[in-house]
Amino acid sequence: MKPLSMDVTSFKNIHCGLFWLVSLLAFVVPATSVNYPQAFYYAAISLVLLGLFVVIIRTDSQPLSKLEKVMIFTWLFYPAFTALDFWLRTGWIWSQFQEPSRFILVLPIFLMVRRFGISQNALKWGVFVGAVIAGFWALYQKQELGIGRAHGGTSSLKAAFGDISLLMGVMSVALFQPNWSKDWRWGFVVLISLSLGVFASLASGTKGGWISAPILCWVLVSLARHPTYTKRFTVLAGITTGAVLIWYFSPFIQARVGNIPLAVVTYLETGQVTDGSASIRLALWHAATLVFIDNPLFGVGPSNFDASKLPYIKAGLLPAIVGQLDAAHSQFFDTLHESGIFGPFMVFSIYGAFIMHCRQYLLENKGLATAGILLAVGFIDFGLVEMIWDINNAGVFFTVMMVLIAGQLSYEGNTRSTVD
């Protein structure tokens, strides 16, 4: 009996050690996602290596559910389809495979977390710290450095900085739900992270990410004890009022959004690009649509957008400036011209399966499940105007946070079923 006791003790020690180590890394990932790239990437890599170690030395005692199998299938189908496309059509392009390969790399993290779990407190405080750091970093850039648009991340991109900051601000509201739903004073803590996350987004001037605000707030109402459509529309009215006030009192915001209506109308009426954001995106989406119409089944493959749009430019169907840009600046339109009808299917099936996985745990863990839905919905919206997964820190943030949340929800579900 003694050796058996030692084995059980050793297993408990390993379990406890992994739990706290993975929880620490789960804190570091969101806390450093917008401003400390080395810590961010080292934490993500460490999670992958730990996941591989756990998968190699131990099989999971809990069989995968049907929805988990579907979710994993969507993660693997995307890189498999891309690799097959390279093999049959374009030749290997590692830079183009970096984005889909992340979904293979994070699979061991999911399997590890669903087996050993993580501390939800570590995750929520990591998101809180990330939102707070983003807000103060944006304030420092604006006030002390005199930078017009705040930025951060590995590529110092304004879009990823603003989008992730906004998302961490709203995710903190969801993750702290078990606290503020029982003690209203926790609302002040949440208000700090939410305000600073929103401020960082506004300071970045990333207007593409702002379109997600009404949808994110709509989802946030689900955290209420009795969510109703009346509450949802009331929140939307409040958001609209706040947006109008921010626009009215902020010349910076006016400058960022004031030219959008005219630029859009001008392009739709004349086909002329009049700004470097709204109308140029319309022109690029127009180009991607024309390429898709002529190649609807499998698209033209990665890195072929430049050559594919030239005939339309020569025919006068697109403005010449489109030839100077090599991307569609939209996750939807980029996958549409690259992979045809399979492109959006691959991308949105990943989002959809993850959302469905989170939804089935809303009653058991409303805060964490809602945070997962916010993560997916936010990136869907961000991807409408950006190739969001293609931005390094944004792509790593989404994939790692997705498997951490999905794995923890599965772990809690498996634990409950074992107890029952």
pTM for the model: 0.91
pLDDT at 3: 41
Q: From CA 411, how far away is CA 31, in angstroms rounded?
A: 23
- Mean of the per-residue pLDDT values for the chain? 86
Task: Please say if the pLDDT value at position 49 is more than 60.
Answer: yes
- Among 2-16, 20-34, 272-286, 375-389, name the one with the lowest average pLDDT: 2-16
DSSP alpha helix (H) spans, 176-298: 177-180, 186-204, 207-210, 213-220, 229-249, 251-257, 260-270, 278-294
Question: Rounded to an integer, what distance in angstroms lies between the CA atom of residue 174 and that of residue 124?
Answer: 9
Residue 27 clears pLDDT 80, i.e. is over it: yes
Name 152's bridge partners. 157
For CA atoms 96, 99, 104, 105, give the dihedral sign. positive
pLDDT at 45: 95
Residues 31, 188: Cα–Cα separation, whole Å? 19
- What is the share, in percent, of the chain residues with pLDDT greater than 70? 92
pLDDT of residue 419: 57
Q: Supply the pLDDT for residue 410.
A: 94
Q: How far apart are CA 313 and CA 318, in angstroms?
A: 5
Per residue in 319-331, pLDDT (tens digit) is: 888 887 777 888 9
What confidence tens digit (pLDDT) does each residue in 63-113 have?
Answer: 899 999 999 999 999 999 999 988 888 778 787 888 899 999 999 999 999
- Cβ pair 172, 164 in contact under 8 A: no
270: region left, alpha or beta (phi > 0 left; psi from -120 to 50 alpha):
alpha
Mean pLDDT, residues 383-397 = 89
Would you state the pLDDT for residue 7?
59
State the chain's maximal CA–CA distance in angstroms: 84
* Percent share of the chain, pLDDT over 90: 43
Q: Which residue has the tokens 């756990």?
A: 54
Tokens of 16: 């406890």
Q: How confident is the model at residue 32 (pLDDT cuts 50, 70, 90)?
A: very high
- pLDDT, mean of residues 391-397: 90
State the pLDDT at residue 5. 44
DSSP H stretches of helix in 324-391:
331-339, 342-359, 366-382
Amino acid 392: pLDDT: 87
d(CA 161, CA 174): 20
| pLDDT one-digit tens code per residue, 212-237 | 888 898 898 888 888 888 888 888 88
Q: What is the pLDDT of residue 420?
A: 55
List, for residues 251-287, the tens digit of each pLDDT value.
777 766 667 778 778 878 787 888 777 788 888 989 9
